[in-house]
Amino acid sequence: MRARRLRRRPGRLTGGNATASCGVQPDVNTLTRRSALTSTAGLAATAIAGMSGCSPASALSSSAGRKPTTQDWIAFARTVTGPVFLPGTSGYRNSKLVFDTRFDGNAPVAVMGVKRVSDVAQAMRFATKFSLQISPRGGGHSYVGASATNGTFVLDMRALDSVSYRASDRTVAVGAGATLYDVKAQLAAHGRAIPTGTCPTVGVAGLTLGGGLGVESRAQGLTADRLTAAQLVLPDGRSVLADAHHYSDIFWALRGGGGGNIGMVTSLRFATHAATGKGIFTLTFPGTAAVPVMTGWARWIATAARSRWAGVHVDAIGGGRLHVSILGVTEAGDERAAAASVLRAVGVTPVATSYLRMSYLDSVIYLGGGTTSSRQGFTAGSDVLAKLDTNTATAIRAAVIARSAAGGPGSALLDPLTGAVTGPATSATAFPWRGHVASVQWYAGGTGYTSALHWLADAHRRVAHFSSGGYVNYLETGMPAKRYYATNLPRLAQIRAHYDPARRLHSGIVV
């Protein structure tokens, strides 16, 4: 379960009926409770998942050291309420698909559609018995396809999608399978919100566990900063509540430590804030002005009012040319004043400007490109910057120009790490980038994965002298954990070793 996806490009944002470029997945509720579970030889064993009257112990006797057989899976399916799919079943292919089409060929050993928390506990015990690794799956937006990893047992949490607002303390309980739009829409009905990313189909759980950057981060902090408690199932099958007073070590790790490192989160509780109308502005600049735009923006985010947010897009448009823009979000009525303050800091005359004012939920739909999205192929990664001076901006520009000259799609998307993000101490949560200026997401859409990966490597090389690491919600294959957790890695690794010594959980990164 992972992070926010790419925002619509400034100047190309569309209305509420548009489709965003960030993925909707097959609905787990279409997988029937009594789905067929088929042997590798193709022999059907129908009406297995959800059968009652069978003892869980029959599927959980000691069998360490061997792989589960079809009969083992059949016995396991009788102990859970959700459907279980093995390779060869009609539902297996759809059940394993994640947002990024790059991972369509991956082959998990099985996929279970979780319907109850007890299903997760049973799956943990089964995985322990047969030494299987478990991959959590929420929104399915992991940049490395972690929730469809070859050979892992995928627990699809999408059916646990409840959203329940409690007016007495203005908190919301969210199931681990809920998506950003679902949560935003249901909270907006109460005039409340939590800070998240913009892609409507990203899972709230994965976003939170990695930190959670978005257009309200400067005003309200990370999504993880709003987390007050989480229910999770540990690798030994125990269901525990983690908050500031219970399992506080786990609670620390859940706020920025990434998904799938400590346990399977089944629900989360957040403190909400008021949902207010938004003003949105877009400033488009000459492609040759990338460096002063980035450095001026960096000066602006260092001192701007926390209610004001802005991000920079530097996009490759071919022939070595660039498209440079700033997307800003602020309180309704402040959009022109906020944009003017950005322009003073940047010192470059824009070639185009636009200003919009809308309700909170309309802004969610607008920035997300709609209420849902479709799957796509992409390659992406990140760097985190402690400062953004002329040398750093020049290196970023050079990386995108190289991609543009090669004719491939590519963007550098700069998000601020200032404002409320800097409130907690670096060691207060597992999220380590409290004293930094910005994250740079390197994004290349399309299926030219090999060339895109080469470009990512080149981009990292160009900014290596200025980079402090990466954002774990923009995870990349083969990168060391130190890159994502910095000084917080030793504590996170200690907690992981305590609760998951056998590394039963798979997250796409070794902690």
Domain ranges of the chain: 70-156, 163-274, 278-486
CA–CA separation, 20 and 24 (whole Å): 10
**What digits encode the pLDDT tens for the residues 143-173?**
999 999 999 999 999 999 999 999 999 999 9
* Contact by Cβ (8 Å): 159, 82: yes
CA-closest candidate to residue 470, choices 433, 495, 430, 423? 433
Query: Which amino acid would we find at residue 313?
Result: H
Give the model's confidence band at 66: pLDDT under 50 very low, under 70 low, under 90 confident, else very high: confident
CA distance 385 to 466: 6
Nearest Cα to Cα of residue 456 among 438, 474, 473: 474
Task: Return d(Cα 511, Cα 506) in angstroms, integer.
Answer: 10
DSSP, res 223: T
Q: What is the pLDDT of residue 64?
A: 59
Q: What is the pLDDT of residue 6?
A: 36
Q: Report the topology of domain 70-156.
A: 3.30.43
Distance CA 90, CA 480 (A): 37
Asked if residue 20 has pLDDT above 50, the reply is no
- 136 forms bridges with which residues in the sheet? 155
Tell me, which fold does domain 163-274 have in CATH? 3.30.465
Dist. CA 269–CA 178, nearest whole Å: 12
Is-same-fold flag (163-274; 278-486)? no
b/e 169-180 (16+ beta carbons within 10 angstroms → b): eebbbbbbbbbb
Q: What does pTM read for this prediction?
A: 0.89
Question: Which CA distances in Å does 225 have to 364, 420, 463?
Answer: 20, 9, 29
Please give the pLDDT value at position 33.
34
The C-alpha torsion from 425 through 430 and 436 to 437, rounded to 10°, is -120
**Does position 58 have pLDDT exceeding 70, yes or no?**
no
Tell me which H or E stretch contains 186: helix 180-188
Kindly report, residue by residue over 349-390, the tens digit of the pLDDT: 999 999 999 999 999 999 999 999 999 999 999 999 999 999
* pLDDT tens, position by position, 429-488: 999 999 999 999 999 999 999 999 999 999 999 999 999 999 999 999 999 999 999 999
Percentage of the residues of the chain whose pLDDT score is greater than 70: 87
Mean residue pLDDT across the chain: 90
3-state secondary structure of 128: helix
Q: At 65, is the pLDDT very low, low, confident or very high (cuts 50, 70, 90)?
A: low
pLDDT for 44 equals 33
Residue 51 has pLDDT above 80, yes or no: no
For residues 307 and 329, the answer to whether their CB atoms sit within 8 Å is no
Q: Give the pLDDT band of residue 22 (cuts 50, 70, 90).
A: low
Distances (CA, A) of 338 to 74, 94, 352, 406, 420: 60, 45, 16, 36, 18
Q: What are phi and psi of 235, to 5 degrees?
A: -55, -25
Side-chain half-sphere of 425: how many Cα atoms within 13 Å?
A: 5
Element (H or E) spanning 93, and its range? helix 92-96
Residue 170's alpha-carbon distances to 173, 194, 226, 241, 409, in angstroms, are 10, 11, 12, 19, 43
pLDDT tops 80 at residue 60: no
Helix (H) or strand (E) holding 352: strand 352-358
Asked if pLDDT for residue 49 goes beyond 60, the answer is no
Segment 31-48, tens digit of pLDDT: 333 333 433 333 333 323
Identify the three-state secondary structure at position 459: helix
Q: What is the pLDDT of residue 258?
A: 96
Assign 55 a pLDDT band (cuts: 50, 70, 90). very low
Percent of the chain with pLDDT over 90: 86
Query: 278-486 adopts what CATH topology?
Result: Vanillyl-alcohol Oxidase; Chain A, domain 3 (3.40.462)
Q: Say which residue, 220 or 17, is predicted with more confidence.
A: 220
Q: Is the pLDDT of residue 2 over 90?
A: no
Is the pLDDT score of 54 beyond 60? Answer: no
Q: Work out the average pLDDT over 46-66.
A: 40
Rounded Cα distance between 493 and 484, Å, is 12
